[in-house]
Chain A
Amino acid sequence: MSKDILSSNFFELFELPVSYQVDLSQIQKKYMDLQKQVHPDKFANASDAEKRLSMQQTSWINEAQTTLKDPVLRATYLLKLKGTDINLENETTMDAAFLMQQLEMRERLERIRKEDDPLSALDAMAKELKTSTQDMMAAFSEAYEAGQIDDAREWIRKLQFMQKAKKEIDSMSAEIEDELMS
């Protein structure tokens, strides 16, 4: 196994089928197995060359785990494996209804501060976001499996929007918590 780590793709590495549906518990389990084989702590007394290899392999495993666990990174990686290297930032067209929704959500976020219980409102928003994110993930998966790459790309971009929105909700929560604590 260790021979192939650096030349394996992330799915091979974690012994998963190349698919958007991943078994998170399998990732966690395999992650531990791999770490136990190659982590630098196992090579503290080894030669410098082995130490370097161990560091490279562990870095690769860490990147693989991060990519497989993250919905957007995983989707992007799948397309990359298909030879579609997408530079999402350069794409500008976007379905108008979706953009409207995003705008509305951002406006709501701006108003939320003035509500009686902004933290609960934010929690509720985060929950809604999670549900629609899951729907989009399913949509990506469907498009991907059907080989509709253009659609798949569109879903990735939407998922990116969702991820950004989640970040904004989180930082707004942090801001309000800070105020409440000081």
Chain B
Amino acid sequence: MALLQIAEPGQATTAHQHRLAVGIDLGTTNSLVATVRSGEVDTLPDENGKHLLPSIVHYGEDEILVGEKAQQCSVTDPLNTIVSVKRFMGRGAEDIAVEDAHYSYTFAETDSAVPRIKTRGGDVSAVEVSAEILKALKQRAIKTLGDELSGAVITVPAYFDDAQRQATKDAAKLADIKVLRLLNEPTAAAVAYGLDTGNEGVIAVYDLGGGTFDISILRLNKGVFEVLATGGNSSLGGDDFDYVIAQWVIEQADFSDADQPAFKRLIMQQARAAKEALAEQESALINIESDNANWQGTLDRETLKELLTPLVKKTLMSCRRALRDADVENEAINEVVMVGGSTRTLIVREMVSDFFQREPLTSIDPDKVVATGAALQADVLVGNKPDDEMLLLDVIPLSLGIETMGGLIEKIIHRNTAIPVAKAQDFTTYKDGQTAMAVHVLQGERELVSDCRSLARFELRGFPPQVAGAARIRVTFQVDADGLLIVSAREENSGVEASVDVKPSYGLSDNEIETMLRDSIEHAEDDMVSRNLREQQVEADRVLEALDSALAVDGEQLLSEDEMAKIQAARQVLVETKTASDVENIRKAIKQLEATCEDYVARRMNSNIKTAMQGHSIEEYASDKKSEVGET
């Protein structure tokens, strides 16, 4: 290690050379780009002076439009005009069905795990659509700043899982942008807020955007922004508000064929307009005019409140959890910072203020604050501020683990662990002579594999055959500062290795991450019962397997007929009990079988001591339970 000189931060860069770096907020509804110029941070406008770029991409006959121009095609040509693509990032085909209820795109039939939307310009993935938005922002920055970019900090919802982060990084790669860091949106907002106000202490950032919700609890101290806990829901936002309003309109107007994409898009647009109007006025007029239907109605604040309350309650649930994870009392929060366009909705402000019992801070422009914070970090990362004390310490939002016998998850890194982080855990083989092990990497809070998101699968192959339990396979998880995971596995006795950069293998089941989280608490009890049962069943299998292989080797030599019969009888009891779902009975049957075998085991040990000299293992039966050796 002494070979590597640790340079003082920023020392490598020439003092006067200012590098161009930007912060990009790649939002569900709108995107922005910001930079630091002559010490001042600001978002960059387009040629018409507009800072917000609508996150909409239109695929035309022979051109691709992004932003305002694409927005104009949203209702007239909905199938070729992609809105809210962020909700599809890092998602598999199964998730899409759930998400698409709002948008009704046509998806191409494909073998690939990555869903592709059919458009006139060909089939496109969410990553490609996002890349178009990033390219537009990059062009804007180059045009305004007059030079190439050294790099960018791109923000992601704190609650994005590994697949969604990876997809975002891929989009940047496609747009030919060098990513300095993926930064969590609430952390970016905290940076902008902290540097703006100079306040210190514990703050809560409530970030409700178009399609995602994050809550982060941070401690601000002398330029260090330390995330204590984060929580949220990566598919809950203003779009869902619009959707429930649209459903209300459809119900009020008694529209029968509201499934038509263009009509649906029109109603969603009107719903959004009404929602926005209600931030300023008591009631809003909704006017639906199209070829097949006309309707006029009024939405008032009271009704809006009724419609949105269940959604806002969901966000407050995440807030509670984050506070508990951070081990911070509500009273210890110094400030609540509101971020994201959806926090303009009055009911959101009211309910958040009730929950935290404190008037939330809304003075910072909720649309621009994330891009601003990202630009500030980009400026530091690129080396423009060598003496800057600023440092952002973030956490991982969801636990990471691997599948073990019986469809259970062994969590290796728990949620809200500070990143970067590396953890290793030892596992062993289950069968005699096993020479390969499948590693299935998962993310989520539930106990069963089927309830969590599958991130990747890979195999460690070609280690020498050994008796069950003798191999020592060390699985290492490394999460970097972007929150991205690399998993490696190594059989320690032989040195055989395998590793994988985690890329999404396939999508979530239709459960969303937040439901997984909530379920994990609702079902904590069920999980414990089924976990215990499975563990006992696995244990039973292991005992049987060990016994059978032992009997095959020397059963006849070492046992009398009578002894053999007794063992076989106890074995049979376990085989039968194993399939029933009574944990206690299985445990008893295992005990009974072990007791019956006691003499046999002792005899084996003695006879094996001799063979061990010739290089054979003695630990075939009655070996210690080593299938999951504890943390290292």
State whether the Cβ of A125 lies closer than 8 Å to any Cβ in chain B: no
State whether the Cβ of A143 lies closer than 8 Å to any Cβ in chain B: no
Q: In the complex, which residues of chain B have a beta carbon less than 8 angstroms from the beta carbon of A40?
A: 420, 480-481
State whether the Cβ of B604 lies closer than 8 Å to any Cβ in chain A: no
Chain A residues in contact with chain B, CB under 8 A?
2-3, 6, 32, 35-46, 49-50, 53, 55-56, 58-60, 62-63, 65-66, 87-90, 170-171, 173-175, 177-178, 181-182
State whether the Cβ of B404 lies closer than 8 Å to any Cβ in chain A: no
Q: In the complex, which residues of chain A have a beta carbon less than 8 angstroms from the beta carbon of B480?
A: 40, 55
Question: Are A55 and B420 closer than 8 Å at their CB atoms?
Answer: yes
CB distance from B295 to the nearest CB of A (A): 32
Q: In the complex, which residues of chain A have a beta carbon less than 8 angstroms from the beta carbon of B381?
A: 41, 44-45
Report B365-424 residues with CB < 8 Å from chain A CB. 377, 380-383, 389, 391-393, 417-423
CB distance from A13 to the nearest CB of B (A): 14
Report B417-439 residues with CB < 8 Å from chain A CB. 417-423
**Closest A residue to B628 using CB positions:** A89
State whether the Cβ of B465 lies closer than 8 Å to any Cβ in chain A: no
**Residue from B316, B421, B478 having most chain A Cβ neighbours under 10 A:** B421
Question: Are A35 and B393 closer than 8 Å at their CB atoms?
Answer: yes
B4-29 interface mask toward A, CB cutoff 8 Å, 1 = contact, 0 = none?
A: 10110110110000000000000000
Question: Are B1 and A3 closer than 8 Å at their CB atoms?
Answer: yes
Query: In the docked arrangement, what's the CA distance between A60 and B421, Å?
Result: 7
Question: Are A46 and B12 closer than 8 Å at their CB atoms?
Answer: yes
Q: In the complex, which residues of chain A have a beta carbon less than 8 angstroms from the beta carbon of B382?
A: 44-45
Question: Are B383 and A90 closer than 8 Å at their CB atoms?
Answer: no
CB distance from B623 to the nearest CB of A (A): 12
Given contacts A87-B630, A182-B310, 15 further A-B contacts (CB under 8 A): A2-B6, A3-B2, A36-B389, A40-B480, A41-B481, A53-B6, A55-B481, A59-B478, A62-B417, A62-B420, A62-B421, A63-B422, A90-B624, A171-B521, A178-B317
CB distance from B211 to the nearest CB of A (A): 22
Choose from A53, A58, A181 the contact partner of B317 (Cβ within 8 Å): A181
Given A6-B1, A41-B380, A50-B6, A62-B419 contact (CB < 8 Å)? yes
Question: Are A41 and B181 closer than 8 Å at their CB atoms?
Answer: yes
Query: In the docked arrangement, what's the CA distance between A3 and B310, Å?
Result: 54
The 10 closest A-B pairs by CB, nearest first: A44-B381, A59-B422, A40-B481, A42-B9, A62-B418, A174-B521, A55-B420, A2-B6, A59-B420, A58-B420
State whether the Cβ of B324 lies closer than 8 Å to any Cβ in chain A: yes
B192-231 interface mask toward A, CB cutoff 8 Å, 1 = contact, 0 = none?
A: 0000000000000000000000000000011010000000
**Residue from A36, A39, A41, A90 having most chain B Cβ neighbours under 10 A:** A41
Q: In the complex, which residues of chain B have a beta carbon less than 8 angstroms from the beta carbon of A41?
A: 181, 377, 380-381, 391-392, 481
Interface pairs (11), CB distance under 8 Å: A35-B224, A35-B393, A44-B151, A45-B10, A45-B13, A45-B383, A63-B421, A66-B418, A174-B320, A178-B518, A178-B522
Query: In the docked arrangement, what's the CA distance between A171 and B382, Å?
Result: 43
Question: Are B391 and A35 closer than 8 Å at their CB atoms?
Answer: yes
Q: In the complex, which residues of chain B have a beta carbon less than 8 angstroms from the beta carbon of A90?
A: 624-625
Query: In the docked arrangement, what's the CA distance between A62 and B9, Å?
Result: 20
B147-175 interface mask toward A, CB cutoff 8 Å, 1 = contact, 0 = none?
A: 00001000000000000000000000000
State whether the Cβ of B531 lies closer than 8 Å to any Cβ in chain A: no
State whether the Cβ of B64 lies closer than 8 Å to any Cβ in chain A: no
**How many residues in B have their beta carbons less than 8 Å from beta carbons of A?**
49
CB distance from B500 to the nearest CB of A (A): 17
Question: Are A45 and B422 closer than 8 Å at their CB atoms?
Answer: no
Q: In the complex, which residues of chain A have a beta carbon less than 8 angstroms from the beta carbon of B313?
A: 181-182
Interface residues of chain A: helix, strand, loop or mixed (majority) = helix
State whether the Cβ of B524 lies closer than 8 Å to any Cβ in chain A: yes
State whether the Cβ of B321 lies closer than 8 Å to any Cβ in chain A: yes
Q: In the complex, which residues of chain B have a beta carbon less than 8 angstroms from the beta carbon of A56?
A: 422
Choose from A44, A46, A63, A170 the contact partner of B324 (Cβ within 8 Å): A170
CB distance from A157 to the nearest CB of B (A): 13
**Closest A residue to B386 using CB positions:** A42
**Closest A residue to B518 using CB positions:** A178
Question: Are A50 and B4 closer than 8 Å at their CB atoms?
Answer: yes
Query: In the docked arrangement, what's the CA distance between A173 and B323, Å?
Result: 13
Query: In the docked arrangement, what's the CA distance between A37 and B421, Å?
Result: 16
**Closest B residue to A38 using CB positions:** B6
Q: In the complex, which residues of chain B have a beta carbon less than 8 angstroms from the beta carbon of A37?
A: 6
Question: Are B4 and A53 closer than 8 Å at their CB atoms?
Answer: yes
Choose from B418, B524, B630 the contact partner of A88 (Cβ within 8 Å): B630
CB distance from A31 to the nearest CB of B (A): 9
Query: In the docked arrangement, what's the CA distance between A53 and B3, Å?
Result: 11
Q: In the complex, which residues of chain A have a beta carbon less than 8 angstroms from the beta carbon of B1?
A: 3, 6, 53
Given A39-B391, A63-B422, A44-B221 contact (CB < 8 Å)? no
Question: Are A175 and B521 closer than 8 Å at their CB atoms?
Answer: yes
Query: In the docked arrangement, what's the CA distance between A59 and B480, Å?
Result: 9
B476-506 interface mask toward A, CB cutoff 8 Å, 1 = contact, 0 = none?
A: 0010110000000000000000000000000
Given A44-B181, A62-B419, A171-B524, A32-B224 contact (CB < 8 Å)? yes
State whether the Cβ of B629 lies closer than 8 Å to any Cβ in chain A: yes
**Residue from A46, A65, A174 having most chain B Cβ neighbours under 10 A:** A174
CB distance from A100 to the nearest CB of B (A): 20
State whether the Cβ of B326 lies closer than 8 Å to any Cβ in chain A: no
Query: In the docked arrangement, what's the CA distance between A132 and B321, Å?
Result: 25
Query: In the docked arrangement, what's the CA distance between A56 and B486, Å?
Result: 13
Q: In the complex, which residues of chain B have a beta carbon less than 8 angstroms from the beta carbon of A45?
A: 10, 12-13, 381-383
Query: In the docked arrangement, what's the CA distance between A35 and B317, Å?
Result: 32
State whether the Cβ of B180 lies closer than 8 Å to any Cβ in chain A: yes
Query: In the docked arrangement, what's the CA distance between A50 and B417, Å?
Result: 23
CB distance from A55 to the nearest CB of B (A): 5
Q: In the complex, which residues of chain A have a beta carbon less than 8 angstroms from the beta carbon of B320?
A: 174, 177
Query: In the docked arrangement, what's the CA distance between A87 and B627, Å?
Result: 13
**Closest B residue to A53 using CB positions:** B4
Query: In the docked arrangement, what's the CA distance between A181 and B315, Å?
Result: 11
Question: Are A44 and B180 closer than 8 Å at their CB atoms?
Answer: yes
CB distance from B35 to the nearest CB of A (A): 16
Query: In the docked arrangement, what's the CA distance between A63 and B477, Å?
Result: 13
